Structure 1
Amino acid sequence: MSDIVPVFLGADLNCYNFARAFHEAYGVESYAFGRYPMAPTKYSRIVHFTTVPDMDNETTMMRILKDFAAQHTGKRLYLFGCTDDYAAMIIRRKAELPEYIAPGPAADLYTTVQKKAEFYEVCDKFGIPYPATKVLTAPVDAAELSEEKLGFGYPLIVKPSSSVDYWKFPFDSMKKVYTAHSADEAAEIVRTVYASGYPDKMLLQKMVPGGDDHMRVLTAFSDKSGKVRAMCLGHTMIEEHTPHGLGNHAAIVTEDTAALPLVENIRQMLEACHYTGFSNFDIKCSDEPGDFRVFEINLRQGRSNYYVTAGGMNLARLVVEKWDDNGDDCVLNRNEVFWHHVPAQVAFTYTEDPALVRKAKALKAAGKEKCSLLYAPDLRWNPVRYACVLEQLRRQFKKFKTYYPKPGQN
């Protein structure tokens, strides 16, 4: 019986993906704590979830984790945050949690790279390109946001620099990112966000042309000494399009990681920063071949992290076996696998690049396909879980038809 005990803060798909990796690798069940249950982990036999209404309070978090550690003495406890907020809490307090292996970055890196405006300053030092960006610290008149003053045109993207702070101030029209088609619209979005109480910088960003299929996701794992030990590239087929889910990956085809021109620059940046743990990068390729732009870094494994495990790099094994093994190899994933958490047919229907669809279909036909929620050991003799998963998959058809309709749909 393994002495490994994975502990997660959060109950979303991120949690289930990682818990599944631990179960596949070591046969262990995971424990999770969060403010409320969520569909991806409901009725699961591999994730034991406990509702803690104020789990986002650091005092509560520390009490829960200390109590859990006291109940599991002699075990190897691995701790992960599944949202930006939970990851940030762990980063800030992990020095006070010596009972856990929490493979996240040091607290001082939180203010250096977690916020997009500051992250772009670091990118400049390592030759990592990102979209042309205007940084705001307060609302401004529309006249200040003309194309002439910005240096780039409309439509453009408006988003908060700190997503952790942003989600703490909800309002009715809240979205993960916004598209502004005029200076007046951009100014109004910025005013609305700041009126909510959001305290940090806002970014106006040149829109990189191309749909979801122009996106790439790169996941890296850095060991305890700050050495990058593994990197895996995914080519996005389709993203979610609900207001709060916009930008979350729904289907990915893994690709040869070495083929991404920015891989070495990113590796050098992570090692120069002495980054530890998982990092996750959103990248977009414009219509100009080889023109890749980094959007942001997540200081944790991404929500779609199972694409890495599906590609042959089990995330749990990376943590358990490479965290402090004194190795210096850096493995770049080169396997091609079709990963999805929506039904495969949704991915095939809504992906705009026909060549990418053909590749995904070929991978599926060859048995190189994984769906996060269709995990036989968790579904077998578990009819309530089975029904819950089928309902989650069924609802995706309506979600995409509602929020991302194809021409001619009604």
Structure 2
Amino acid sequence: MAASSGTAVRPVILGGDIGAYATARTFHETYGVRSVVLAGVETWAVTGSVAVDHRVVTGLSDPDLLVAAIRDVAAEAPGRTHIVLGSADWLVDALVTHREQLGDVVVPYAGPGAMAQVTDKGTFTALCRELGIPVPETVVLRAGDGPGAAAGLTFPVVVKAASTTAYHAVSFAGKKKVDRADDVSELGEVLSRIAAAGFGGDLLVQELVPGGDAEMAAVNLFFDATGCGGSRSSGGCCWRSTRPGRSGTPSPRSPASTPRPSTTPAGCWSTWDGAGSPTWTSSGTPATASTASSRSTPASAAAGTQ
């Protein structure tokens, strides 16, 4: 659905990964607009795309530079509504933290308290259990606790930081987004490396969910202010990234559905098992640009976070 370039929403997306491309493509296919993508380096995922105005901005991890870059983009088209999105947890966290400094732009995320509940993997896993949503067997610990703190889990297991924002700030040789351990000895080695790097935050040790790459999927759900859904975009995973910093992250995705345009009545997805299409219940109210996202693994572990 094409929109007037002078009045259409102008998306601004932070980060140049495949998630940024997927979001820009969704906006382009649905509304006929190009998204401004701000990334620290030129990346293959967005370079050359007709859906993207790709700009390299070094130092986005500096809050002052991030705020200035967004304000500069918004100043280019003062008559348009700018919606600012992050393609990584640490970028979303930065937007939520500095929302008031960004000027007249839309940051479609909840407040810090609600965001902490759903972006911290430990808190999110506990919330899923409370709601009866199946998750892999999980132990939350600190690296200094040692492998004995994960007693009771069945190997192999995976190890990942509860907060990807906090883990983003730590660098060390051999760092991975997700580590795998096939026995207690390997788990001890992983925890020792993380402890030696000085990371003191929570870690999740989870039993590995079996399954091929194609069993993973990515789903973006767009909600209005009432918490009801307005549109969605989703895709299946072709293969997982093998880069250490992206382990467990879906790489190129095949589109699985077409997003609903803004003229479609909003509604709530009353049921969804992580496969196929959610059940749509019309509420008769127009959709807005607020957004939330989730990822699904096989139905037996639909709430497993990556």
TM-fit CA distance, 1:234: 4.9
Note if 1:163 corresponds to 2:177: no
TM-fit CA distance, 1:161: 0.9
Aligned to 1:182: 183
Aligned to 1:8: 13
1:87 to 92, 102, 105: 92
Counterpart-to-counterpart distance in 2, 1:13 and 1:50: 15
SS at match of 2:79: coil
Counterpart-to-counterpart distance in 1, 2:45 and 2:244: 19
SS at match of 1:100: coil
Q: Which has the higher helix share?
A: 1
Counterpart-to-counterpart distance in 2, 1:11 and 1:219: 17
The change in CA–CA distance for 1:88 and 1:70 in structure 2 (over 3 A counts) is same
| Aligned amino acid, residue 273 of structure 2 | P
Note if 1:277 corresponds to 2:291: yes
TM-fit CA distance, 1:135: 1.0
Aligned to 2:241: 240
Counterpart-to-counterpart distance in 1, 2:104 and 2:206: 42
Aligned to 1:41: 46
- Matching of residues 311-350 of structure 1 within 5 Å: none
- Matching of residues 79-158 of structure 1 within 5 Å: 79-142=84-147, 144-145=148-149, 150-158=151-159
Contact 1:224 1:277 in 2 (8 A): no
Residue deviations 1:212-236, cap 9 Å, x none? 2333444322112322334566554
Unaligned runs of 5+ in 2: 258-268, 280-289
Aligned to 1:24: 29
SS at match of 2:136: coil
| Aligned amino acid, residue 15 of structure 1 | A
Counterpart-to-counterpart distance in 2, 1:141 and 1:97: 42
1:261 to 246, 261, 273: 273
Residue deviations 1:119-165, cap 9 Å, x none? 112112211111111111242344x15xxx62222211111111121
Contact 1:283 1:294 in 2 (8 A): yes
Counterpart-to-counterpart distance in 1, 2:87 and 2:37: 10
Counterpart-to-counterpart distance in 2, 1:197 and 1:141: 14
* Percentage identity across paired residues of the two chains: 25
Counterpart-to-counterpart distance in 2, 1:226 and 1:130: 23
TM-fit CA distance, 1:45: 4.7
TM-fit CA distance, 1:23: 2.6
- Matching of residues 191-210 of structure 1 within 5 Å: 191-210=192-211
* TM-score between the two structures when normalised by the length of structure 1: 0.61
- Matching of residues 212-251 of structure 1 within 5 Å: 212-231=213-232, 234-249=235-250, 250-251=252-253
Residue deviations 1:187-229, cap 9 Å, x none? 2201211322323101111122222233344432211232233
Counterpart-to-counterpart distance in 2, 1:217 and 1:48: 23
TM-align CA RMSD: 2.8
Aligned to 1:58: 63
TM-fit CA distance, 1:44: 4.1
| Aligned amino acid, residue 79 of structure 2 | G
Counterpart-to-counterpart distance in 2, 1:108 and 1:63: 25
- The number of residue pairs the alignment matches comes to 277
Aligned to 2:266: none
Contact 2:71 2:103 in 1 (8 A): no
Note if 1:295 corresponds to 2:304: yes
Counterpart-to-counterpart distance in 2, 1:44 and 1:253: 16
The change in CA–CA distance for 1:214 and 1:15 in structure 2 (over 3 A counts) is closer
TM-fit CA distance, 1:51: 2.1
TM-fit CA distance, 1:116: 0.4
| Aligned amino acid, residue 161 of structure 1 | A
Aligned to 2:283: none
Residue deviations 1:89-137, cap 9 Å, x none? 1122224435112222222222212110011121122111111111112
The change in CA–CA distance for 1:141 and 1:124 in structure 2 (over 3 A counts) is closer
Counterpart-to-counterpart distance in 1, 2:168 and 2:102: 26
| Aligned amino acid, residue 256 of structure 2 | T
| Aligned amino acid, residue 156 of structure 1 | V
The change in CA–CA distance for 1:228 and 1:174 in structure 2 (over 3 A counts) is same
Unaligned runs of 5+ in 1: 268-275, 286-290, 298-410
| Aligned amino acid, residue 198 of structure 1 | F
Counterpart-to-counterpart distance in 2, 1:234 and 1:277: 17
Contact 2:217 2:235 in 1 (8 A): yes
Counterpart-to-counterpart distance in 1, 2:53 and 2:70: 15
The change in CA–CA distance for 1:16 and 1:192 in structure 2 (over 3 A counts) is same
* TM-score between the two structures when normalised by the length of structure 2: 0.79
Counterpart-to-counterpart distance in 2, 1:36 and 1:194: 30
